[in-house]
Amino acid sequence: MNIIDIINKKRLGKELSYKELEYAFLGYLNKQHEDYQMSSLLMAIVINGMTLEETIDLTDIFIKSGDVYDLSSIDKNIVDKHSTGGVGDSTTLIVGPIVASCGLKMAKISGRGLGITGGTIDKLESIPNFDVKLTKREFLHNLKTVGFVDSSQTTNLVPLDKIIYNLRNNSGTTESLPLIVSSIMSKKIASGADIILIDIKVGKGALVKTKKDANLMSRWMKEIGVHYNKKVVTIITDMNTPLSNSIGNALEVEEAMQVLKGKDCKLYEVSKEISSILISLAKNISMEEAQEEVEKSIISGRAYNKFLEFVKSQKGDIKKLKIDANIKVIKSKYNGTLKEIDALKIGRLALKLGAGKINDRETIDYSAGVKLYKNIGDKVKKGEILATLYTNKNIKITEDDINCFEIN
């Protein structure tokens, strides 16, 4: 077998066998192939796709590249959730504390930003001293004692996804249904939860652009769940507009804290839906009962306190969370109604401001990002503030960069 033949086979749109996928991907992990060879194969996959069988095989190869956690001694209905990637999506920081404060255990392995979409690990790292690199022992201990734990892939948990994820981010190969499915599902299966909810984001600011692809992704993820004897549920939610009014790592942590303190907004609605589904499945109660539990956890302050406990358990110092960037204001040029906030353009703008990175030479500015002050449907007056931009980069912001709002 050789890597060039495998790249060419996929370039011609042919199906790869388990052995060929293993040779290519495990070979890359073992440094037998070069970055440019794996990038070519990934691009051929982006262009020509993979079958469900190939995707299940790739997921399996990812899982077997490292440890698989057995959480059965901790609880029998451990839950997990994952978003396929969006702009301003900090639901994990809200759902984890809510469900843990309602007595569930949520074991989560998260990723970094991918393309224009944010990653939970970057958001958590904006909290000074927060430890995202937990050992297996620490992960299990926190799950048992706090009820919510969130870690990056340690060297032993799906190490193959970790390096492929980074390569995809740096090679324009993020938007591929089979690559997204195998990346997410391998982490979900390996980290050991029994009930897995996948929030498939669809729209301009998502990695998945069409409802058709979202439906197919949902079907494949459920098939993989059946394959590994896991309960997989999916929801499909809009990502044409940013999910929250804050985009950028520390800004999103602040916003998540406001939601946990009772702020009512779209981010809360989606978080409530995800939390209620998980609680209803894990406790075998109706959605109405589960929603009531969610509301009570917010009103009583239990969910917010659980967030503080979670941050402390991973050594984070929330009091030191800072947004110490320079600020630029975007004002409306027109009177009218806000018709659209383009999630893709906002995501690109946040990336340019430094909230994410497109290669390994760059570093993330945790304070960077965008804060939005108006929602779709709001009346806007000429000169009113639409957004503030936060950055420490010495960059020129052009009219095109901030052309994210449609007002008429």
Report, as residue numbers or ranges, the catalytic residues. Answer: 82, 161, 168, 183, 187
Taking the complex as a whole, how short is the minimal distance between the CB of residue 9 and ligand URA, in angstroms?
23
State the nearest-atom distance from the C-beta of 260 to ligand URA, in Å: 23
Rank residues 6 and 179 by Cβ distance to ligand URA and give the closer one. 179
Query: Rule CB under 6 A: is residue 84 a binding residue for ligand URA?
Result: yes
**SS3 category, 267:** helix
Specify the DSSP class assigned to residue 318.
G
CB of 111 to ligand URA, least distance (A): 4
Residue 65, interface with ligand URA (CB under 6 A)? Answer: no
The reply to whether 87 sits near ligand URA by the rule CB under 6 A is: no
| Window of 40-48, 181-189, 223-231, 298-306 that interacts with ligand URA by CB under 6 A | 181-189
The whole-angstrom distance between residue 389's C-alpha and the CA centroid of its chain comes to 22
Q: Using the minimum distance from each CB to ligand URA, give the nearer residue, 180 or 251.
A: 180
Between 175 and 292, CB nearer to ligand URA: 175
Residue with token string 């504390």:
97
Q: Which residue lies nearer to ligand URA by CB, 207 or 282?
A: 207
| Contact pick of 151, 153, 183, 332 for ligand URA (by CB under 6 A) | 183
C-beta closer to ligand URA: residue 97 or 178: 178
User: Cβ(266)–Cβ(259) under 8 Å?
Assistant: no
Q: Applying CB under 6 A, which of residues 66, 85, 203, 347 lies at the interface with ligand URA?
A: 85
Burial 52-78 (b: 16+ CB within 10 A, else e): eebbbbbbbbbbebbbebebeebbeeb
Q: How far is it, in rounded angstroms, from Cα 313 to Cα 146? A: 8
To ligand URA, the closest distance from the beta carbon of 80 in angstroms equals 12
| Amino acid in the structure at residue 252 | E
Residue 203 CA, chain-centre distance (Å), reads 15
Residues 141-180 that bind ligand URA (CB under 6 A): 179-180
**Under rule CB under 6 A, which residues in 196-255 are in contact with ligand URA?**
207
* HSE value, Cβ hemisphere, 13 Å, CA-based, for 371: 20
Q: Specify the stretch interacting with ligand URA by CB under 6 A; choose among 2-10, 182-190, 269-277, 400-408.
A: 182-190
Residue 114 binds to ligand URA (criterion: CB under 6 A): yes
Q: Distance (Å, rounded) from C-alpha 287 to C-alpha 61?
A: 36
Contact call for residues 334 and 380 (beta carbons, < 8 A): yes
How many chain residues bind ligand URA (CB under 6 A)?
10
Strands (E), 345-384: 369-372, 379-380
DSSP 68: -
DSSP H helices, 30-135, are 35-48, 52-64, 91-101, 120-125
Q: State phi, psi for 323 to the nearest 5 degrees.
A: -120, 90
Contact 153, 187 (CB under 8 A): yes
Give CA–CA dist 249/154, Å, rounded. Answer: 21
Closer residue to ligand URA (CB): 84 or 191: 84
Residue 138, CB-side half-sphere exposure with 13 Å CA sphere: 13
Region for residue 268 given its phi and psi (left: phi exceeds 0; alpha: psi -120 to 50; beta: otherwise): alpha
Q: How far apart are the C-alpha atoms of 374 and 377, rounded to whole Å? A: 9
Nearer to ligand URA (CB atom), residue 85 or residue 356: 85
Nearer Cβ to ligand URA, position 33 or 81? 81
Q: Taking the complex as a whole, how short is the minimal distance between the CB of residue 221 and ligand URA, in angstroms? A: 12
Nearest approach, Cβ of residue 182 and ligand URA (Å): 8
Pick from 88, 96, 97, 111: which binds ligand URA (CB under 6 A)? 111
316 touching ligand URA, by CB under 6 A = no
Q: Least CB distance from residue 305 to ligand URA, whole Å? A: 29
Shortest Cβ distance from residue 216 to ligand URA (Å)?
Answer: 15
Select the residue whose beta carbon is closest to ligand URA and give its number: 183
* Residues binding ligand URA (CB under 6 A): 84-85, 111, 114, 179-180, 183-184, 187, 207
